[in-house]
């Protein structure tokens, strides 16, 4: 059962990223990404981390992708540019990515045999205790970071009026 869920979620996730690459419309790209990140949240759940799965769906599929949709609607449609130079860049970048794929795959397939299966549940209560105890400093820093980010975004968008 878990294997079937894993296969379905992986196929949806990878297929949605492929759809994001192929489609020309930015809004469709954002929606494909929502699908991909939601199924990725399911994969996190399969890894016995339910809190991270829910956070993934709420923060990524909910908040971040809504911002992307808003930005893509604000920016509007793009004009098509085509040329032989662009095609050359595309081919070159795909070759580079394939090389990167081979390198990472070599590393992954070297370590996969050493990974043992696990039976372990990450409960929200244990995670909360860990955040409050050991990672309190990092947690507070993250909140400061988010405040700084919001203030910076406001400053960037207000700059034009002054």
Q: Minimum distance between the CB of residue 117 and other proteins, rounded to whole angstroms?
A: 5
Q: Which segments of 23-135 does DSSP mark as H helices, in order?
A: 26-46, 50-55, 65-75, 84-111, 124-133
Q: Which residues fall within 8 angstroms of residue 51, CB to CB, at 6 or more apart? A: 122, 123, 124, 127
Distance CA 52, CA 127 (A): 10
Q: What CA–CA distances, in Å, run from 10 to 36, 55, 155?
A: 9, 19, 40
Q: What CA–CA distances, in Å, run from 148 to 125, 137, 145, 159?
A: 29, 16, 5, 16
């Amino acid at each position: 059962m878990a294997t079937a869920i894993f296969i379905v979620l992986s196929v949806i996730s990878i297929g949605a990223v492929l759809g994001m690459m192929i489609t020309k419309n930015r809004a469709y790209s954002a929606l494909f990404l929502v699908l991909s990140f939601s199924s990725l949240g399911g994969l996190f759940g399969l890894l016995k981390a339910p809190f991270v799965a829910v956070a993934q769906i709420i923060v990524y599929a909910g908040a971040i992708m809504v911002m992307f949709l808003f930005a893509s609607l604000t920016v509007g449609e793009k004009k098509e540019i085509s040329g032989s130079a662009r095609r050359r860049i595309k081919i070159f970048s795909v070759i580079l990515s394939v090389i990167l794929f081979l390198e990472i795959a070599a590393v992954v397939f070297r370590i996969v045999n050493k990974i043992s299966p696990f039976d372990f549940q990450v409960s929200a209560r244990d995670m909360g205790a860990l955040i409050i105890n050991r990672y309190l400093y990092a947690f507070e820093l993250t909140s400061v970071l988010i405040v700084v980010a919001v203030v910076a975004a406001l400053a960037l968008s207000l700059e034009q009026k002054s």
